Structure 1
Amino acid sequence: MTPIEAMLSILREEGVTRVFGNPGTTELPFLDALVAAPDIPYVLGVHEGAVVAMADGYARATGRPAFVSLHVAAGLANGLSGLLNASRSRTPMVVTAGQQDRRHLAQDPMLSGNLVELARSAVKATFDVQHAHDLPVMLRRAFRLAVLPPAGPVFLSVPMDLLAEETDVDVFDAPVAAPPAATGMASAAALLARARRPAIVAGDGVGREGGVDALVALAESVGAVVYHQPMHDGVDFPMGHDLYAGALPPVNAEIRRTLAPYDLVLIAGCHAFMPHHYSPGPALAPGTRVVQVDSDPTEIGRNFAVEFGLTGAIEPALRGIAERLRELRPEVGHRRVELRERHLGARAAAETAALKAYGPAPLEPVAAAHAVASGLPIDAVVVEEAITTGVLLRRFLRLERPRSLVHTVGGGLGFGIGAAIGAAMGDPDRPVVAVLGDGCAMFGLQGLWGAARYGVPVTFVVMNNGEYRTLKDTLDNWDSRATHAGQYPGLDLGPLDFGAAATFFGIEARRVAHADELVDLVAGATHRDRPLLIDVPILGHRQGEHP
């Protein structure tokens, strides 16, 4: 078969049912071939940032690598922020870009560039395809690498004239080997059974690898308090569970303080805590006893000492530890009662404070966050890119099912709109609610074109305070080093009419007048059959509650 025929054959075998892209001249041989491949529709985005974000959300919803087609150096550059997000969030993705025709590449033609070097720092691996017979080998290898721990995006540069060749190439089959099973589960269980005050940190690897139920069984067997990793990208433990204490803050000093009372910490599927703001010292105090479980061997003991480490597929390892704990039967009833009372009390206090803040727009941020959480339909998927209001939102979310939360720890803004579209395409039976900061929404606004084009019934909730509030808050708390208190150059967006923006793209919009109205609009996501943008005016810096 020809190179392009081999490419389409491999896409089908790898389970690709959509191509996410923004095309140009160097992708024309691929586009022409797709005309005869109606089983692989082309999902167009009008900016590569939106394209990669859509693919990210789709890959997470389906559990399969997404396939992305970008356009030469400029298109790849536009997509780099999304690729950085995918790398940080461990999203499997195979990304191609059409290189200029090799027959005049030496002349430095328009649109050409060193695609491999441009992509290298943003992806897991790169391939520079130069020979037709190498395309099937490298493409197959890219799909394998994309899912092997640590998962992530893999890039291929493919010259346009190579795809147009009539050369006969071979396609080989290469089934994916299952991750190896961890050993030492009995020893890990014994350490946990002897702990008097155990804690668990649930990392995003747990959710990605289907280990949530196993971790619940383990936590209940040992009576451990459970924290999400800082800035977690998904549901790695049920957020309404009695043992759940919320997410760790993304600061080493705060992580150290939070975990100090516990005599043993189990860390599962967590990428080294990834702090955001600097603080002196490590995330774990010296002498902290740690049991670590991860499918990526480079994570074991990466940033802290580990007493016992298990490398292998996360779900079987956690399930094996839980089974051995049931055999050991540690006495944990008193711990579970104590934790339940503590957590229920904290949640009730937060609910009471939020309800007191309800009122007309502009809303208190805490009231807006609570209203969204209160209105969420059962089985909703929440895509969160709201920075400061998102921190408040997580206090009230009670998401139970894996893949119910989509976020990126990568930090590249503009992710939320595209990711929500991809999530809805990947799992169309679940309502999707995207909670966005106004600054984040501005970075990814072109994604609304895709929502309108494909009629994706996403509910976009924009928290509109007209500023980069997180930077103002950070500047205020910057160890008194800020020399011009109360002055914030470059941090104000001014009045933004997101209803007008939605209308431009052909999307219905509503502007919220009261917190109760926001609850009702979000609840309507259950029966929505087209996209809706909800513009939520919230109080700005120093006018409302500080996160």
Structure 2
Amino acid sequence: MPTARRIAHAFLERQGLTTIFGNPGSNELPFLAGLPESFRYVLGLHEGVVVGMADGYAQVTGGPALVNLHAAAGSGNAMGALTNAVYARSPLVLTAGQQVRSAVGLEAMLANVDAPQLMRPLVGHSAEPACAADVPRSLAQAVFEAELQRRPSYLSVPYDDWDADVDPGACEVLERRVRRGLTPDAAQLDDLVREVGAARNPVLVLGGDIDAAGHVDRAVACAEHLDLPVWVAPSPHRLPFPNRHPLLRGVLPAGIGSVSSALAGHDLVLVVGAPVFRYHQHVPGPYLPDGARLIQVTDDAGAAARAPMGEALVADPGPVLAALTDRLPQRASGPREFTPPPEPATASGAALHPEEVFAALRDTQPPDTRYVVESTSTNGAWWRQMDLRHPGSYFFPASGGLGFGLPAAVGAAMGDPDRPVVAVVGDGSANYGITALWSAAHYRVPVTFLILRNGTYGALRWFGTLLGTPDVPGTEIPGLDFTALAAGYGVPATAVTELAELRDQLKTPPTDGPRLIQVDTHPTSPE
């Protein structure tokens, strides 16, 4: 008779889920015992880092990533990082160990009471097998739910289930395959093509799903063919359009009234691959400017259902972009001259201006570099100086939860070793995921960690001004030495104060493992 563990390992291997990101506890050891040689276990020293690494890995590979957490405590530690994975639509498969079945009702130590409820409403699916015989099927469902919903799923398994003999019929799960298809029908495409073609002044708004699904080239072709101005939807976690393309108008502000003002003059707002919208600052106003209609195209049914205005077509954006390009007359032709970045701003004193740092990155790093960015207060400087033309070049915490940057960069580099990875992280953000440095060093992941040190929570100070609360405590974090912290985790590190020294450091890429560069920067605001 096969055991639940044996079938589970075989199923995961057939699904290609042979990299496990985890931090094990006693409840998880029976699942991890006897892993086939094809499996790789990636240890993180905190569950937030574990999920962050898996999130970065899933985003660059485009497929699910397997996470192993420890009972309720480990699952709870992971939930902050999980919020980013949810809004990035990363298909993470979270497994957690549970106490033996006979001890759960007693609330014995490490029992996860009502385990499926713990992770709701964050995950798209949460379950615990009804019995040991149901473990293989439950695991398969968790994997397929993550893939179909493009949202993390969660499965808690009592640890005595793994050694249980199960009926041979449970092996049927090994042959299962579930596929997703959301191609719009001819009538839906006809309607959309007709409405876009009839619009007097349409505008295209693109979201991170365009990059995640590999549709950036299609989006560029469509915008150029129809000569459409393009905005990036508010609060982007990926870059769906080259940021120096002449048709790009920028990133929409994240307030209701601000979005409406930015879109003024357009009679049709076509939103593709984005929710409508991810607002942040409370800026009241009309959802849309006078005379404007909105049509949303997304394969995220939840995003379509919760939008406060407009029409929605739940479909894969790829065929929609292709149809608009193929079936509408070309409105412009000729080469497109990309907009050069301005001269970077400078700062007086010992600290560099963030624009100087980003210009140095732009000038020294390969064009296909993946940047994992978690420095909120420098957003404006970032977009003014960077020139990102390759898909998959930009990653940002999708829900704004801190602790994403360092671990996601490690996961991204592990998921795709062929492209260089640079993590651009503020000193405030870095502390939330600092133990990712150990994982990077231990697995010799060639990541450049660039820490921007300004001694403050810069975004909080900016928000304090917006909210009329400039004098709140807890926004200063002086005296942090990331070179010493990095050395303790085994990462070679250096602190630079001069622009020429920074450029020299950046010109030499890491090879046999990570490196950290700390640079003191002048405080700035996100805008």
Q: Are 1:264 and 2:282 matched, yes or no?
A: no
Write the letter of the residue equivalent to 1:198.
P
Distance 1:421 1:136 in 2: 30
Distance 2:427 2:194 in 1: 49
Q: Are 1:233 and 2:237 matched, yes or no?
A: yes
Distance 1:393 1:546 in 2: 9
Deviation at 1:467, TM superposition (A): 0.9
Question: What corresponds to 1:532 in structure 2?
Answer: 515
Q: Are 1:16 and 2:17 matched, yes or no?
A: yes
Give the secondary structure class of the aligned counterpart of 1:69. strand
Deviation at 1:110, TM superposition (A): 0.8
Deviation at 1:41, TM superposition (A): 1.2
Deviation string for 1:29-66 (max 9, x for gaps)?
112121xx110111111110110000001111111100
Deviation at 1:403, TM superposition (A): 1.6
Write the letter of the residue equivalent to 1:182.
P
Spell out the pairing of 1:92-111 with structure 2 (5 A cutoff).
Answer: 92-111=91-110
**In the alignment, is the contact (CA less than 8 A) between 1:359 and 1:514 conserved in 2?**
no
Question: What corresponds to 2:80 in structure 1?
Answer: 81
**In the alignment, is the contact (CA less than 8 A) between 1:198 and 1:222 conserved in 2?**
no
Question: What corresponds to 2:183 in structure 1?
Answer: 181
Write the letter of the residue equivalent to 1:275.
Y
Distance 1:530 1:446 in 2: 15
Question: What corresponds to 1:520 in structure 2?
Answer: 504
Give the secondary structure class of the aligned counterpart of 1:38. coil
**In the alignment, is the contact (CA less than 8 A) between 1:366 and 1:545 conserved in 2?**
no
> Per the alignment, do residues 511 and 21 of structure 1 end up closer, same or farther by CA in structure 2, a change over 3 Å counting?
same
> Per the alignment, do residues 63 and 293 of structure 1 end up closer, same or farther by CA in structure 2, a change over 3 Å counting?
same
Distance 2:283 2:385 in 1: 27
Deviation at 1:394, TM superposition (A): 2.4
**In the alignment, is the contact (CA less than 8 A) between 1:230 and 1:250 conserved in 2?**
yes
- 434-443 or 238-247, which deviates more: 238-247
Give the secondary structure class of the aligned counterpart of 1:86. helix
Q: Are 1:312 and 2:301 matched, yes or no?
A: no
> Per the alignment, do residues 288 and 455 of structure 1 end up closer, same or farther by CA in structure 2, a change over 3 Å counting?
same
From 327, 331, 334, give the equivalent of 1:324.
Answer: 327
State the TM-score, normalized to the length of structure 1. Answer: 0.90
Write the letter of the residue equivalent to 2:183.
A
Q: Are 1:130 and 2:130 matched, yes or no?
A: yes
Deviation at 1:358, TM superposition (A): 6.5
Write the letter of the residue equivalent to 1:63.
G
Give the secondary structure class of the aligned counterpart of 1:300. helix
Give the secondary structure class of the aligned counterpart of 1:237. coil
Question: What corresponds to 2:494 in structure 1?
Answer: 510
Give the secondary structure class of the aligned counterpart of 1:15. coil
**In the alignment, is the contact (CA less than 8 A) between 2:67 and 2:94 conserved in 1?**
yes
Distance 2:316 2:517 in 1: 41
Distance 2:379 2:426 in 1: 8
Write the letter of the residue equivalent to 2:16.
G
Distance 2:501 2:257 in 1: 40
Deviation at 1:364, TM superposition (A): 1.8
> Per the alignment, do residues 285 and 471 of structure 1 end up closer, same or farther by CA in structure 2, a change over 3 Å counting?
same
From 373, 387, 392, give the equivalent of 1:398.
Answer: 387
Give the secondary structure class of the aligned counterpart of 2:16. coil
- Count of residues in Structure 1 that have an aligned counterpart in Structure 2: 520
Question: What corresponds to 1:251 in structure 2?
Answer: 255
Write the letter of the residue equivalent to 1:293.
V
Write the letter of the residue equivalent to 1:531.
P
Give the secondary structure class of the aligned counterpart of 2:136. helix
Distance 1:52 1:409 in 2: 13
Deviation string for 1:367-418 (max 9, x for gaps)?
2233333332221000011111234212322222222211122121111111
* RMSD, aligned CA: 2.1
Deviation at 1:318, TM superposition (A): 1.5
- 105-114 or 413-422, which deviates more: 105-114
Distance 1:388 1:319 in 2: 37
From 350, 367, 371, give the equivalent of 2:360.
Answer: 371
Give the secondary structure class of the aligned counterpart of 1:11. helix
Distance 2:178 2:104 in 1: 36
> Per the alignment, do residues 224 and 72 of structure 1 end up closer, same or farther by CA in structure 2, a change over 3 Å counting?
same
**In the alignment, is the contact (CA less than 8 A) between 2:51 and 2:67 conserved in 1?**
yes
**In the alignment, is the contact (CA less than 8 A) between 1:44 and 1:450 conserved in 2?**
yes
Distance 1:434 1:242 in 2: 27
Distance 1:282 1:146 in 2: 35
- 469-478 or 283-292, which deviates more: 283-292
**In the alignment, is the contact (CA less than 8 A) between 1:360 and 1:514 conserved in 2?**
no
**In the alignment, is the contact (CA less than 8 A) between 2:148 and 2:179 conserved in 1?**
no
Question: What corresponds to 2:44 in structure 1?
Answer: 45
Question: What corresponds to 2:370 in structure 1?
Answer: 381
- 389-398 or 15-24, which deviates more: 389-398
Question: What corresponds to 1:117 in structure 2?
Answer: 117
Deviation at 1:213, TM superposition (A): 1.6
Distance 2:32 2:331 in 1: 63
Identity %: 37
Distance 1:545 1:215 in 2: 31
Give the secondary structure class of the aligned counterpart of 2:230. strand
For structure 1, the residue ranges without an aligned partner over 5 or more in a row are none
Write the letter of the residue equivalent to 1:192.
V
Deviation at 1:87, TM superposition (A): 0.8
Deviation string for 1:115-146 (max 9, x for gaps)?
22211122111011131221121111111111
Write the letter of the residue equivalent to 2:238.
G
> Per the alignment, do residues 265 and 110 of structure 1 end up closer, same or farther by CA in structure 2, a change over 3 Å counting?
same
